[in-house]
Each structure stands twice: as C-alpha cells, then as structure tokens.
Amino acid sequence: MNLKFIFFITFLPLFFLSFFCAKEIKSSSLEKKIADASTTDTAVLTLCGLDIGIDRSTNYMKAVCNGFAVSAGHYQKQVNYPAMLDPSAGDNPKGSIYIGATKLDQLIRTTPGPKIVFGYSQGAQVAGTWLRRFAHLPDAPPSNELSFVLIGNPERRYGKQPWTLKQTPDSTQYKIRDVSRKNDNWSDWHGSPSDNRILAMFGTVHTNYWKSEIYGESAQVIKVVGNTSYVIVP
C-alpha cells in the first residue's frame, strides 16, 4: 500500500480534531489561563504530534490535557519543528524528529528558569531523541531546572508497539512523567508482533487527549523506572 495513503488515512482524524480544538481554545476559561500564565515563571515547551504543521497555526497544544501548557504557574513556548512523517525515529539528521530535537535544544538553552518539555506523540519521540543526544553532555541543563511530560508516546517502555525502533531513555537525570490513555494503540499496545501494522495505527484514543489528566485521581502510576513515572489515564 502507498505510504502517503497510509499516512493520510492514519492521521486525518488528528487533523480534524486539531481544527475542532482550535475553536475550543477560544473559550473564556482557557483564555483566562493564558492571561494568568503570562505572570508566572515556569515555561512549558510544547512539541505537537505528527500534524504537518497544523499546530504552528492553530496552537492546539495549549488546549491538550485541559490546557496544561497554560495552566496556573505555566506559560507556553512552542517548539516549531516539521512534524512530518519520519521512519528514521530520530536517526536521520534531515528528518522531522532529529530536527525537532535540535530546535528543542536551542529553545531549552535560550529559555531561562524552570522548564517542562511537553511532548505529544511524535513530539514525545523528539523529546526522547533530545535525551539521547543531549542529556549526557557536560553542559546539559541541571535536573532541578528541566523536566518532561510525555503523552501518547510511541517509544514508551510499557505500551509501545513491538516493532517500534527506539525506547525513550527513562534513567537520565531528568524527571519524566510518561502518560498514556488506556488502549491508545501507540502507547498502550496490547497486541502481538504478528498483528497488522497498518491496522495498529488506527483508533480515536490517540488523537483525544484534550481532557486527560496528567496529575489527579484518574492518573494511575503503574511503574516507576529510574526517574520516569509511567502513568495510565482513562
């Protein structure tokens, strides 16, 4: 089957949800969060999913997880990266994930004060690539200044698909909260290696983290490895 066609039918729901969310983020409650966040000091560096650039114009990431990026105590900075199909999983210097990690590093180093990297889907892979490329360097930011929140992470240790090439480092110096919705085919996979890879891409769970809690009663920590807490939410 043509790869472009697979890409189109797989991620079309995400595109529609993104545009729908662009309308939602005009609500008065979320606008109030944005205004409140402008006076606070924790930067949330957002990395969107594979959306071919939709987040750059709609900024749907500020609505994901109940507006986590702009909630009380936070202000948002978008990491503008290609967000295109990248089978290399971060190994190709010209690929979306590798470029995203480089742009993330630039923003991390030019943003003063405490920072949270907030990565969704391919954005979580970008964060994982940053950890592999930069976390071990002598001039890496201190761990009391930088942390990570990942959602729908295809490279998640507990729940990634069996043919996924990489695994997000979970024992670096940085605290990571890796959150997956239950039965998200990309980050809470319950199939087997013999399953059809194309069919495994489908499902509406992965493209619906709008109301998911990162912290709170519904967020169940299922495992802690190194500095990473693995969380399942409804």
pLDDT tens for 24-38 read 444 444 444 444 444
pLDDT score recorded for residue 193: 65
pLDDT: which is higher, 228 or 199:
228
What separation in angstroms does the CA of 170 have from each of 113, 224, 226? 23, 9, 6
Q: Is 8 exposed, middle or buried (0-12, 13-18, 19+ CB in 10 A)?
A: exposed
Cα gap 64→192, rounded to integer Å: 30
Residue 69 is classified by DSSP as G
Percent of the chain with pLDDT over 70: 78
Q: Whole-prediction pTM value?
A: 0.85
pLDDT above 80 for 95: yes
CB 11 within 8 A of CB 85: no
Task: Look at residues 21, 42, 2, 68 and name the one whose alpha carbon lies nearest to residue 216.
Answer: 68
221's tokens: 């920590």
pLDDT above 60 for 130: yes
Q: What count of other Cβ atoms lies within 10 Å of the Cβ of residue 159? A: 24
For the chain, the domain total comes to 1
Q: What count of other Cβ atoms lies within 10 Å of the Cβ of residue 28? A: 7
What range defines the domain where residue 132 resides?
Answer: 3-233
pLDDT score recorded for residue 196: 61
The phi-psi region of residue 123 (left if phi > 0; otherwise alpha if psi is between -120 and 50; otherwise beta) is alpha
The domain spanning residue 191 has which CATH number? 3.40.50
Cα angle 166-16-79, degrees, rounded to a multiple of 5: 50
Mean pLDDT for the chain?
86
pLDDT above 50 for 47: yes
pLDDT tens for 157-206 read 999 988 888 999 999 999 999 999 999 999 999 877 666 666 666 678 99
**CA 168 from centre of chain:** 12
State which H helix or E strand residue 101 sits in.
helix 96-110
